[in-house]
Structure 1
Amino acid sequence: MRIKNRDLILEFLGKCYENESRGATTSDISKTLQMQRTNVSKLLNELCAEGLVEKDSTNYPVIYRRTKMGKSREAQIFETLIGYDGSLKRAVHLAKSAVLYPKKSLNMLLLAKHGTGKDLFIRKIFEFAVASDVCAEDAPFVKMNCLYYKDNAEEMNAKFNEGLIASENGFFFIDNCHFLDAESKTHLSTILDNSYVKNPDIDHAPIIVCSMPPMMSSDAFFDNITSKISIIISLPELNERGLYERFKFIEKFFCNEAHESGCQIKVNSEVLIALLLYPCDNIKQLFHDIRQACASAYSRELEVEKEAINVLIVDFSHNVRSGLLNYKNKRMDVDNIIREESDYVFNSDKLSILDIRPKENESIYDWINAKKLELHKRGFSSSEINTIVNVGIETEFNKYRKNLFNNTINKEQLSQLVDSKIIELVDDLLAKASSLLNRYYAASIHYGLCLHIQALVGKRVATHPIKIEKMMEFIEHNKEEYSLAMSLCDRITAAYDIELPIDEIVIIAMFLCTHNVGDDQSRHPSLLVAMHGVGVAKALAETVKILNDMTIYSYDLSLNKKPLDAYEDIKQTVLNIPHENGILIVYDMGSLKDIFNMVAIETGIRIKLIELPVTLMLMDFCRKLMLSENVNDAYDVLVNRFKSLDASAEYETMKKSKVIVSFCMTGEGGAVQIKRYIEQQFKLEGIEIIPVQLAEQSLFLQELNTISKEKEILCIVGTFNPNVYGIPFIPIEDIFNSDNHDLSQLLYQDNLNKQDFLSNSETIFEHLAKELKNIDALEAKDKLIQFIFDVEKDMGIMVEMNEKIGLLVHLACTLDRLKAGNITPNNLNKEEVIRKNMYLYRIIVKHMIELEKAFSVNVSDDEICNIIYILKKSHS
């Protein structure tokens, strides 16, 4: 949350006031806060008009001072509380409202468990009351903890009356009020009901704040007291406050310990991760666990002269250390807060972060060995070490893979280090991966894979087992990459007579997951789908995840469950979702909207809502159909009612336009010059030339992938070969030395192949015209050829001539058979084939729609699987 400039000025002048400074000039504030002098002057005049700042014109230049601290309703008393604008936002708002209520402040009931910070929160309410002139500066603050007197009713009653008298015109904090004796409860009830005290020694009743734990809400006394108190404030438990706020508590407690010990305190990232994730009941327990560990570290290093005390993971209890086991499930949220490979140094007033640079040229195995040794020295058990290493291996591998972008070598150098057979195997693997996965690979991935496999074949590395759970998780989310890696390992086994374990197959598959390169655990808002019914939202979320690769969360609200009864479930669902960057919620009906708005207010989480009223629409459809006897009448009414539903819209196949990409290392200007030269010297009708800057290999690849989503990249033209698999490269020298005919031959090579195919198809359809009985072969020819060209283009590969001819004949016969009313035989492996080839399946279905319309047939998934077999044979 960004702090306003006026608040920064107030804070600065407040510090001058606390330090008994003479004040500050406009120039002082402008230089210190790095603001424009005119803006500072304007804001100072506004603050003076509001009475927050006073101006001393007897001096030159003019001196500005903060008015007596705490005399403004905007005094930022609560901002010292962790979570004041987050999980405590609602509580702070209610507290301010109660204190500032006209004529007389309202009494309050605080629902909070032990250790949630209720004492500090009540103190801040009192300070705010003083700062707002509701209470005098010398107003009394009296606390009575009823727990101490629960076994002595007489003493309880006496302390209660003493507290009432002592807190006159001030604050009376009655902690654990549910333990009050019957007489005191009756007295308290009368005071709250009538706003006066039956005591001749008291003229003005205090502001009363009662507190009790939330679980007492079923108690009869709770019902009685809430009927008399308007302001009920709830304080969240530690596990409801989010990881960022928990980290701020950790930071505060370590800084306190640094102040108490007079020494810096240094911890590593593992310690902070454990403290963030271990099961901790409340803030007070977190404080005691940190203090105990600091005391242990202090006694260990007492006799060693050091600038900082090193607090290690072994200084904490097993309960705290168990937090590391939860890192796997919370890694994205934790990585937003804790910086890897860093030491955290706490002083009495600040936190410093020191980067620990990794060794250059360190392999994934070097990292595993070093990590295990480091954790062993810190006192971790073998099982804990294996868990931590397995959780971090994928993150570390992504770093290793990214480093390859900056450490590429050429193929000539590579051939001196790697067996030519390995280079050939990796070439084949990446060519297949580019086609099947529809993504381009940097040459550095090729080099890295070659070097990695050479090390395996040469037996220069020892394989480290990866936990079976970790492997299964990776395979589940990266099935296609794993399948490709497995085929490569089979070929390595055949060529070199070595058996590679499943761990190695997983590591090789990681090389192919380039969709994660440059995406540092993407810091995106979360998406939640909430629907009425059983399994509706879950099914939607799972379906979209298959097609989109983004984690989508879901909540299904049973129709038998009242919305208010589901409130706690929904709130917990929201809290369990990564929410540091907010949550977008898609819901179906209005009752959910009200609940999510309430959750947003209570938790302080940023929530945006979009209504997708599919349930209401279907209900409306049902009502209309039940009142209609003709589907056409119902259809017309419903389409007019829901204008956004274009039910009769024709399907249009989006054809990709062709482009050439020009690039230059010196910047986009050089690429533009190449573009202009080609446009001036060559006739390239219908082809766009896009200039791209190659400043960094990973960014260049991302740009190519972005372009390829909407356009077909014919080739890349530039000053050197960027080694992008699947796209031809033309050196700029060839452009300058070529005539129009030579360049056209290179760019239109696919057109030459098309001409051959068209020529062969003429002969085939002359024969089919005599054989096909139910469709016109000559009429079908152009549509079937266009279908094959469109599928080939979307696949991004050239289908072999034999397979193309075979597919043409198969499609013609299939349409003829379907037109006659025959059905396609069941494919027993249909579901598995579609699941393994989802990308290709979607391409075929998209273009098959045109054929189905043209010939008025319905092509089943069984038949589409047959087409998949033919196309897969072409590039297997």
Structure 2
Amino acid sequence: MGKSGNIIFKYLEDKCKEQRITGKSVVVGCSTRQIADSLLLQRTNVSSILNRLCEDGKVLKTKGKPIIYYSNSSTEMKKEREKPLTNSSNFSNLIGGNKSLKKSIQQAQAAILYPPRGLHTLILGPTGVGKTMFAELMYKFAMEKEVISKDAPFISFNCADYSNNPQLIMAHLFGSKKGAFTGADKDRIGLVDKANGGILFLDEIHRLPAEGQEMLFMLIDKSVYTPLGNIEEKKSGKILIICATTEEVGSALLTTFTRRIPMTINIPALKDRTIDERFELICDFFKIESRRIAREITISTNTVRSLLLYNCRGNIGQLKSDIQLGCANAFLKFVSKGKSKIEVHSTDFSNNVRQGLVSYMQESQIVDKIIKEDIRLNFKPKGIKFQVESNSDLLPDNFYESIEQRIQELKNRGVDEDDINFTMSYDIKNYFNKYIEKFEQEINKEELSKIVDDHIIVIVEEFFKTASEQMKKIFPTKVFYGLCLHISSIIERIHHKKEIINHNLNEIIQKHGKEYGLAINLSNKLEKKFDIKIPADEVGFIAMFLCVDETSDDNIGKPIIVIAMHGRSTASSMAEVANRLVGGNNVYAYDMNLDKNPQIAYKELKEFIIANHQGPGVILLVDMGSLGMFGELISEETGIKIRVIEMVSTLIAIECARKALTNNNIHEVWEESKQSVAFLNNYNMSLTETYIPSKDNIIITTCVTGEGSAVKLKNMIEGAINIKERDIQVVAIAASDKKETFNTINTLSKNKKVVAIVGTINPNVYDIPFIPISELFLDNNYTRLRDIVSRIKTPADVYNEIFDALDKEITEINIREFQPLCIKFLDDIGENVIKYLDIYKVSGLTMHLACALVRLINNEDTPKCSKKEEIKTNYLKEFDIIKTLLIPLEKFYKILFSDDEVCHIVIIILEI
């Protein structure tokens, strides 16, 4: 122990003695902050030293917040620590006590404290959730609060033990007289008698026959009972009854019985507990095993992931049992193979547990907050240690080497081929993400060209432009640099004839077919240029670069938005708009018919929120009436965090949805959304202007200091540069951080081309120039931005280019006669069907119309539309409008568009 350690230990020891002697403190001991403030030391250093002292056994600490540390230097101090704290409770150490079990604990405490001797209680919950332990905690709490005496009994009885013999079960409970039934050869004292003055816990109460439940009536109502076979004798007993069952109350118990049990407590299943609580449970069980075998146990990252995510049907009981089995298998290897330490891996568990890794791809955002790839858990008999495995020596070009080392490690441990393939299919994503993160800082192209062939850079640049156009998404700059370096290492690896294996190949092809197809095109170009053959496994790795998405549509672990409104489809329509504009699919709708009973609506909305919430909470948007009161009630009943905004509007729904994609704190989402909407209203900015730009090319202005600054930037640009004549628009967005900025840009880029970003945060988007605010102030002429704008074509330029190209390709019709008719049709589509047609739709629709006219003029058959019935059913309005708008073309060319042709046009316009 160093100098600081000695000082801290001496201070704590003296302080504890002083507190005990003077009696100034109910709780003997000190918190970390008290010690740090008194000794003028850094709190983090004090905490680290105190934990080491705890591991050495010189200091002990309490659970809960704040943690209190005690000196362990004398017998008197040990006795002092063993005294119950005046503000403590046996419930305080229960995992989830302030979260999923908070309401259950409050109910249990209320039941025990209710005068004069507490309330009889029924505990509900599936097998393995800890109902028996919960009943024991209620018993300890009753002793602590002096509701029962310190020597009061706690008698536990499982009603399933004798459920097939009613007489025997009655005898066990109430006692019996000799000769009361066959086999009763002596007087028997019942459990009720033994529990007098204390608590009787009846587990699996649903297995108690009806006559048994009825015999409890008198005990509950009058505190008296009759032993079996002795009608004349009535015994009295002051007993608090706690029952537990896994069954539905109404179907398993007599109504007359449940009516006599005033308190019902639900213990949630493991799947309904938070993932943080599950992690705490896992750690607790590993600590128990470490103490049991008196050795340190190291847990791999994949082990924790599996245990956090597998379907544990037997709840906490099964989780504990599975962990024991895993530790037993690891211990066997430790003994039989002469290992230096006990290491628990996912392969030490049953297949059921290992299947938890299957869910990791979807749950990675949540799980990675708890356990990351470079952290292992060390459980010692005296504590837990997080061991960080340094990866700082990993270079950007050793992606393959990392995978090969991992495979070799698994082989050395004797893991079979199938398990290796299973494990690696989930590890590859983590190695890939690590590789990409190394390019977080933007690399200069000039620096890149020093280590990567210029031909590779050119090919990758063309590849990303094609991918952006076809997938309608943007890519982080780090993905571009990462792929350039990766391809350089591919070529070198192929030249050295090194094997390439991708354990994720099948999944990539099945789930990301479009990305894989684009990767094949890139591979073909590389093969021709460098005279190599790229295997399919490597094509899969290239496709993974296109799957990197910092704005994933997967909302697991994110707050959700629930719109609850009166009317048959009012909420649904608003949710559809918000999801379409934001692109997050995190907005849900509950439509409440005007004639629906509020109680039924409450139950439906509660069940709807329970079924859809993801953990962090819910923003509930309501219009009026009783819906406004539901949020607080549902939150109180379920424990789900809910914030309510009344007088919902589409703008509020959009802002909440957008904020929720990048912020897990619903309170911040709630506050920021209201402020953003107030800002938009104050600046008279319309929904269309903010979220659906009317031009095909946009300049984005953003500022972290506030939305007003983004608008000022927009006004500065529009005042300095004339953009009215061009197909370009400046859009101000409110974004509090880099991730939110990237998310909003990605959403806008799905339908528009972002030509520049001006602001304080560089989101590092590939192929979109970023202009910092400082550059605009230093260059009053806005030279770089003005040059970007000058290269944007006017709408007239765009149309002329399209029809010039058609004039060269199509000779069957006069394109100059077709041009005004087509432009009129496109303008009418914009006014009546879909408000904005981007350049790609304009080009595609123009080409399709010209070709359709040629077919009809030449009396050729129109291709059949496979979705005709679907379109006529679901898009009849749009179908009829387009059919009408085609009449001028039909009259001019004396032709008739078939229903199939109209359906083809609907598909192009609406992207069906």
User: Please, what TM-score do these two structures have when normalized by structure 1?
Assistant: 0.64
Deviation at 1:345, TM superposition (A): 1.2
2:787 is the counterpart of 1:746: yes
Q: Secondary structure at the match of 2:385?
A: strand
User: How many angstroms apart in 2 are the aligned matches of 1:613 and 1:721?
Assistant: 31
Q: Relative to 1, partners in 2 of residues 1:124 and 1:494: Cα closer, same or farther, differing over 3 Å?
A: same
Alignment partner, residue 155 of structure 2: 142
**Secondary structure at the residue paired with 1:209?**
strand
Q: Which residue of 2 aligns with 1:625?
A: none
Question: Contact 2:825–2:885 at 8 Å: present in 1 too?
Answer: no
Identify the residue that residue 424 of structure 1 maps to in structure 2.
458
Matched residue SS, 2:512: helix
Task: Provide the residue aligned with 2:487 in structure 1.
Answer: 453
RMSD of equivalent CA atoms: 6.8
Deviations 1:747-789 (A, max 9, x none): 553378789789999999xxxxx999999999979989x99xx
Equivalent residue number for residue 402 of structure 1: 437
Is the CA contact (8 Å cut-off) linking 1:153 and 1:181 kept in structure 2?
no
The question of 1:166 aligning with 2:166 is answered no
Does residue 210 (structure 1) correspond to residue 235 (structure 2)? The answer is no
1:88-237 matches, cutoff 5 A: 88-150=101-163, 151=165, 153-154=167-168, 156-157=170-171, 159-161=173-175, 162-180=190-208, 184-197=212-225, 205-214=238-247, 218-219=251-252, 221-237=253-269
> Which of these residues, 500, 508, 521, is aligned with residue 463 of structure 1?
500
In the TM superposition, what whole-angstrom CA distance separates every residue of 1:496-531 from its partner, at most 9, and x where no partner exists? 555545544443233234532899998522457899
- 463-472 vs 587-596, which moves further: 587-596
Q: Distance in 2 between matches of 1:792 and 1:234?
A: 53
- In structure 1, the gaps of 5 or more residues are 1-11, 38-65, 615-643, 765-769, 818-823, 836-844, 870-876
Residue 725 of structure 1 pairs with residue 762 of structure 2: no
User: CA deviation digits over 1:138-158, x for unaligned, max 9?
Assistant: 333233344445558357525
Map of 1:286 onto structure 2: 319
Aligned with residue 374 of structure 2, among 341, 346, 358: 341
Counterpart pick for 1:507 among 514, 517, 541: 541
Alignment counterpart, residue 257 of structure 1, candidates 289, 297, 313: 289
Structure 1 residue 252: deviation in Å? Answer: 0.9
Give the deviation of 1:114 after TM superposition: 4.5
State whether residues 661 and 713 of structure 1, in contact with CA within 8 Å, keep that contact through their aligned partners in structure 2.
no
Matched-pair contact (CA < 8 Å) for 2:403–2:431: no
Give the superposition deviation at 1:121: 0.7
Quick check: 1:265–1:346 contact (8 Å CA) kept in 2?
A: yes
SS in 2 for 1:516: coil
- Call closer, same or farther: CA 1:425–1:236 in 2, change over 3 Å: same
Residue in 1 that maps onto 2:421: 386
How far apart, in 1, do the equivalents of 2:293 and 2:139 lie? Answer: 31
* Match of residue 32 from structure 1: 34
**How far 1:225 sits from its partner (Å)?**
1.7
Which one-letter code corresponds to 1:371 in the other structure?
R
Residues 70 and 130, structure 1, Cα contact 8 Å, conserved in 2: no
Alignment of 1:530-679 (within 5 A): 549-550=583-584, 552=586, 579-584=614-619, 603-607=638-642, 654=693
Which residue type is aligned with residue 257 of structure 1? E
Contact 1:571 1:599 in 2 (8 A): yes
> Distance in 2 between the 1:331 and 1:17 partners?
49
8 Å CA contact 1:553–1:577 kept in 2: the answer is: no
Q: Partners of 1:163 and 1:173 in 2: how far apart?
A: 10
Shift of the 185–793 alpha-carbon distance from structure 1 to 2, 3 Å rule, reads closer
In the TM superposition, what whole-angstrom CA distance separates every residue of 1:549-582 from its partner, at most 9, and x where no partner exists?
53559799999x9999999999998677673312
| Distance in 2 between residues matched to 1:703 and 1:534, nearest whole Å | 31
Deviation at 1:343, TM superposition (A): 0.9
Quickly say closer, same or farther: Cα 1:612–1:825, change in 2 above 3 A.
Answer: farther
Q: Tell me if the contact between 2:562 and 2:590 (Cα under 8 Å) persists in the aligned partners.
A: no
**Superposed displacement of residue 474, structure 1:** 3.4
- Whole-Å separation in 2 of the counterparts to 1:342 and 1:256: 21
Partner AA of 1:373 in structure 2 = Q
Q: Which residue of 1 aligns with 2:99?
A: 86
Is 1:354 matched up with 2:387? yes
CA displacement at 1:426 relative to structure 2 = 1.6
Matches of 2:101 and 2:815, distance apart in 1: 79
Per the TM alignment, residue 120 of structure 1 is displaced from its structure 2 partner at its CA by 1.6
Go from structure 1 to structure 2 and tell me whether the alpha carbon gap of 1:505 and 1:742 turns closer, same or farther (over 3 Å shift): same
* Amino acid in structure 2 at the alignment position of 1:175: D
Q: Deviations over 1:380-411 (max 9, x none)?
A: 33222222222333343233222123473534
* Offset at residue 178 of structure 1 (A): 4.5
Letter in 1 for 2:309: L
- Contact 1:830 1:861 (C-alpha < 8 Å) held by counterparts: no
1:268 counterpart (300, 304, 320): 300
In the alignment, is residue 475 of structure 1 matched against residue 512 of structure 2? yes
Letter in 2 for 1:357: S
Q: Distance in 2 between matches of 1:95 and 1:18?
A: 37
Change (3 A) 1:401 1:244: same
Structure 2: give runs of 5+ residues left out of the alignment. Answer: 1-11, 40-79, 176-189, 228-232, 650-680, 806-813, 855-859, 872-877, 891-896
CA distance in structure 1 between the aligned counterparts of 2:456 and 2:146, rounded to whole angstroms: 81
Please state whether the residue corresponding to 2:370 is helix, strand or coil. coil
Farther-moved stretch of structure 1 (306-315 vs 208-217): 306-315
SS of the counterpart of 1:451?
Answer: helix
Equivalent residue for 1:316? 349
1:226 Cα deviation from its structure 2 partner: 0.8
Paired residues of 1:279 and 1:319 also in contact (CA < 8 A): yes
**Any idea what the Cα deviations from partners look like across 1:53-111, whole Å, max 9, x if unmatched?**
xxxxxxxxxxxxx9997696x64332222222333333323222222324342211223
Aligned length: 739
Name the aligned partner's letter for residue 265 of structure 1.
I
Using the aligned pairs only, state the percent identity.
Answer: 25
Q: Who is 1:59 aligned against?
A: none
What is the deviation of 1:792?
A: 11
Asked if the contact 1:270–1:324 (Cα under 8 Å) also holds between the matched residues in 2, the reply is yes
Question: Is the CA contact 1:170–1:207 (under 8 Å) kept in the aligned structure 2?
Answer: yes
Do 2:755 and 2:768's aligned partners in 1 also have CA atoms closer than 8 Å? no
For the structure 1 residues 715 and 581, does the alpha-carbon distance in structure 2 shift closer, same or farther, using more than 3 Å as the test? closer
